[in-house]
Structure 1
Amino acid sequence: MRHRTKTHLLTKEQIDDLFKRAEVGRLGTFSSNGFPYVLPMHFVYVDNKIYMHGLPKGKKIDNIKFNSNVCFEVDEMLSLLYEGVENPCDVNTEFNSIIVEGKASLVSDFDEKKMALSSIVAKFTPHLVDKELPSKMINGTAVIKIDILECVGRYYK
Structure 2
Amino acid sequence: MFREMRRKRQLLSEEDAVAVLNRGTAGVLALSGDDDYPYAVPLSYVYDGSKIYFHGAKEGHKLDAMRRCEKASFCVVDRDQVVPEEYTSYFRSVIVFGAVRIVEDDTEKLEAIKKLAIKYAPENTDQRLKSAIDREWNPLCVMEMIIHHMTGKEAVELMKKRPKQGT
Q: Give the alignment's TM-score, normalised by structure 1.
A: 0.86
Residues 129, 93 of structure 1: alpha-carbon distance in 2 compared, 3 angstrom cutoff: farther
Residues 52, 37 of structure 1: alpha-carbon distance in 2 compared, 3 angstrom cutoff: same
1:118/1:129 contact within 8 Å kept: no
3-state secondary structure, aligned to 2:96: strand
1:95 deviation in Å? 1.4
Q: How does 1:29-108 map to 2 (within 5 A)?
A: 29-82=31-84, 85=85, 90-108=86-104
Letter in 2 for 1:36: P
1:113/1:138 contact within 8 Å kept: no
1:30-83 Cα deviation digits (max 9, x unpaired)? 12411110010000001311100000100000000011111110112342345x
Residues 77, 110 of structure 1: alpha-carbon distance in 2 compared, 3 angstrom cutoff: same
3-state secondary structure, aligned to 1:27: strand
Report the Cα distance in structure 2 between the residues aligned to 1:155 and 1:118, rounded to whole angstroms. Answer: 31
1:7 deviation in Å? 1.0
Report the Cα distance in structure 2 between the residues aligned to 1:55 and 1:92, rounded to whole angstroms. Answer: 38
3-state secondary structure, aligned to 1:29: strand
Report the Cα distance in structure 1 between the residues aligned to 2:125 and 2:13, rounded to whole angstroms. Answer: 30
1:9/1:153 contact within 8 Å kept: yes
Structure 2 unmatched ranges of 5 or more = 159-167
1:32/1:66 contact within 8 Å kept: no
Report the Cα distance in structure 1 between the residues aligned to 2:69 and 2:23, rounded to whole angstroms. Answer: 29
Report the Cα distance in structure 1 between the residues aligned to 2:6 and 2:68, rounded to whole angstroms. Answer: 36
1:98/1:153 contact within 8 Å kept: yes
Q: Give the alignment's TM-score, normalised by structure 2.
A: 0.81
Say which of 113, 121, 125 aligns to 1:125. 121
Report the Cα distance in structure 2 between the residues aligned to 1:15 and 1:8, rounded to whole angstroms. Answer: 12
Aligned residue pairs total 150
- Percent identical pairs in the alignment equals 27
1:135 deviation in Å? 5.0
Establish whether residue 21 from structure 1 lines up as the match of residue 23 from structure 2. Answer: yes
Report the Cα distance in structure 2 between the residues aligned to 1:78 and 1:33, rounded to whole angstroms. Answer: 32
Report the Cα distance in structure 2 between the residues aligned to 1:45 and 1:79, rounded to whole angstroms. Answer: 24
- Name the counterpart of 1:112: 108
Say which of 4, 7, 16 aligns to 1:5. 7
